[in-house]
Chains A and B, each alone.
Chain A
Amino acid sequence: MSEPLLSVRNLTLDIPTGSGTLHAVRGIDFDLNRGETLCIVGESGSGKSLTSLALMGLLGKGIKRSADRMTFDGTELTTADSRKMRSLRGARMAMIFQEPMTSLNPAYTIGDQLSEALLLHRNVTRAAARARAVELLEKVGITAAESRLSQYPHQLSGGLRQRVMIAMALMCEPELIIADEPTTALDVTIQAQILRLLHDLGREMNMAMILITHDLGVVARVADKVAVMYAGELVETGPVGEIFNAPTHPYTRGLLRCIPLPGKTARGSQLGTIPGIVPSLVGAVEGCVFRTRCPHATMECRGPIPKRVDGDHAFRCIFPDGKRHDEKELTA
């Protein structure tokens, strides 16, 4: 595993607004190897969806993207033209969205929509595409798959639609799949099923996966790596064991207040809540963005914040250990 499948350095997203530039995502770095699962966690509005759309090249007009590097299997995505991006999207990198109810086109049948990606990217017949669609519908656990092909989205429940979305993303056997909170819109009972399904299929097809979720229990079970996002920055990234056993950034610790452990954290346990407000990201953003909510904040936190890297583990804090040891004493 010499070169990572996806390598991102200093990804920055700026959105011009009426009152100045919104620095929605700032200086994101991470690597993802083939077959690995990266979970991105962070509260609402921290920029998780924007980051995943930026990777896919699906940002809305007006959002400015820049990066020192953003390579997918050696292809530089920042300079790829739209034709190149189209040849990757749906074929080698696929995305599953947060909103299953509205992500399918109401005017076309499930069969048409499933076949589309395959017909666009591979030289196959319609019949072959439909056969593949049936195969994948069965794989995602949909019964009577054959007869579903002629159904329209409105005839399916939310859970079924999300399964269809998953099947659709898998049509061309992508090497990378990005799942943006694929289950938040669904029933709690269905959430776990869908995530397990996604995880198992990912393993089976040796896909790399970026999974955005709020469910720490899921993170503990499926992640190889975890990235913690706060107000547009990855404040801490690392292997799942280290993040859960030794969370270093004060925000990460705030999220994991009860220090859940892989295998021990209950399914469905939500991120902890931390008092305080997120600073505005409009105009110049300086110093640590978490300082307004951090119990250890000092004057120094207004200055430049070093990125501390130790092997696979990285975090941004002026304190070499993120005040981890002080806090242990406090709570002990």
Chain B
Amino acid sequence: MLHFILKRLGLAVLVAFTVSFISFSLLFLSGDPAAALAGETASGEDIEALRRLYGFDRPMLVQYGEWLWSALRGDFGESYYFKLPVASLIADRLGVTMLLGVCGISFALLTAVPLGVVAAIRPNSLIDRAALFISVAGQAMPSFWFGLILIVVFAIQLGWLPPSGTGTWRHFVMPTIVLGYYAMPAIMRLTRAGMLDVLSSDYIRTARAKGANETRVLFRHALRNAIIPVVSLAAVQMGFMLGGSIVVESIFALHGAGYLAWESIARNDLPTVQALILIFSMFYIVFTFLADVLNAWLDPRMRSS
């Protein structure tokens, strides 16, 4: 187990370095950073001055090393737009995004797992078909469109929920549904397929032969095995969601890190964009790593190999 975790951890660190380099180079791939910083009306001399001021004239690797070293200490430089440290800017916004991510994945799990289980118990039943419809619709429907429909119906026409902002829990209802719905189809189908597979296995018959009741058979014997891949999928989805909340946060004007990313891209605020990309990627890497660990913890076969 320890060996396995160390191996995965090593891999995660390697990926993290690669990602950090890529997100750093974005600065240069997106054009001349000094020109971007100086604005459209600046003269050539102004740009050159800025280039020297910010150190863009030095070799790229040196700049990367310097940036990474500061980043590791939590210093991501200063936002071009807000003229504030990027780190504190992001720290202020991250809470909303994480809350949204946790709500979103919880919503997805709480709806997808029961639906998947019921669909597997009664394959081809009405519930199974309904679940399939929900999941296909979820996959076909873009988040922004679904979000707009919800706003039109529940905020504008019915007036039940606020259309935007972060003031109360009610502000989080629609964003949670939109974000969670995005992750739901995959979780549901994996649960259904896993349960179908497990329910027809010999050890389920053994459990019944012992006199276990259906609830015990379903949950203790079947779901416990079928959920293993679902848990790791959910962890990966969670990583995705923290980054993927950009769209949802922009629709509902939730002032989280995703919204900040969207604003910063529009404003060409490169240090902020860079830091956000790095942070979102780190979330993804951390959750993928957690998925592996969880998987090993849940599956005794992986634990000992």
Contact = CB atoms under 8 A, between A and B. Distances in A.
* A and B form one complex: yes
Interface of A: 56, 58, 86-91, 94-95, 97, 99, 102-108, 116-117, 120-121, 152, 154-155, 165, 168
B211 A89 contact: yes
B301 A152 contact: yes
A107 B206 contact: no
A163 to B, nearest CB: 15
Contact of A89 (B201, B210, B225): B210
B207 A152 contact: no
B189 interface: no
A104 to B, nearest CB: 6
A105 B300 contact: no
A106 B228 CA distance: 12
Given A106-B301, A107-B225, A152-B301, A89 B203 contact: no
10 contacts: A86-B211, A86-B213, A88-B211, A89-B210, A105-B207, A106-B299, A107-B228, A108-B224, A154-B304, A165-B206
Most-contacted residue by chain A among B208, B210, B225, B300 (CB, 10 A) = B210
B213 A97 contact: no
B267 interface: no
B210 A103 contact: no
A55 to B, nearest CB: 11
Given A86-B212, A117-B211, 7 more contacts: A86-B211, A88-B211, A97-B206, A97-B209, A106-B299, A107-B224, A108-B224
Interface string B187-223: 0000000000000011101111111110000000100
Interface residues on B, range: 20 to 34
Contacts of B208: 58, 89
B156 to A, nearest CB: 48
Most-contacted residue by chain A among B201, B205, B304 (CB, 10 A) = B205
Contact of B300 (A90, A117, A152): A152
A90 B203 contact: no
Contacts of A108: 224
Contacts of A155: 304
B211 A97 contact: no
Interface string B208-249: 111111000000010011001000000000000000000000
A147 B85 CA distance: 58
Contacts of A86: 211-213
A97 B207 CA distance: 12
Nearest to B304: A155
Given A105-B225, A152-B300, A95 B209 contact: yes
Contacts of B206: 97, 103-105, 165, 168
B225 A106 contact: yes
Please provide the 3 A-B residue pairs with the shortest distance between their CB atoms, ordered closest to farther.
Answer: A90-B211, A90-B210, A152-B300
A120 B212 contact: yes
Given A121-B211, A155-B304, A107 B202 contact: no
B203 A102 contact: yes
A154 B301 contact: yes
A91 B211 CA distance: 7
Contact of B210 (A102, A117, A154): A117
B202 A102 contact: yes
B221 A103 contact: no
Interface in B259-305: 298-301, 304
Contacts of A99: 202
A87 B228 CA distance: 31
A97 B202 CA distance: 9
A165 B202 CA distance: 12
Most-contacted residue by chain A among B201, B207, B225, B298 (CB, 10 A) = B207
Given A105-B203, A107-B300, A154-B301, A90 B209 contact: yes
B211 A105 contact: no
A240 B224 CA distance: 45
Most-contacted residue by chain A among B205, B211, B213 (CB, 10 A) = B211
A169 to B, nearest CB: 8
Most-contacted residue by chain A among B207, B209, B212, B224 (CB, 10 A) = B209
Contacts of B205: 58, 97, 103
Contacts of B221: 105
A94 B202 contact: no
Contacts of A58: 205, 208-209
Most-contacted residue by chain B among A91, A104, A108 (CB, 10 A) = A108
A103 B204 CA distance: 8
Contact of A152 (B202, B203, B304): B304
A58 B202 CA distance: 12
A99 B221 CA distance: 18
B80 to A, nearest CB: 53
Given A152-B300, A154-B300, A104 B203 contact: yes
A94 B210 CA distance: 7
A28 to B, nearest CB: 20
A130 B187 CA distance: 37
A86 B221 CA distance: 16
Contacts of A87: 211
A56 B208 CA distance: 10
A173 to B, nearest CB: 14
A52 to B, nearest CB: 10
Contacts of A97: 202, 205-206, 209
A86 B212 CA distance: 7
Contacts of A95: 209
A123 to B, nearest CB: 14
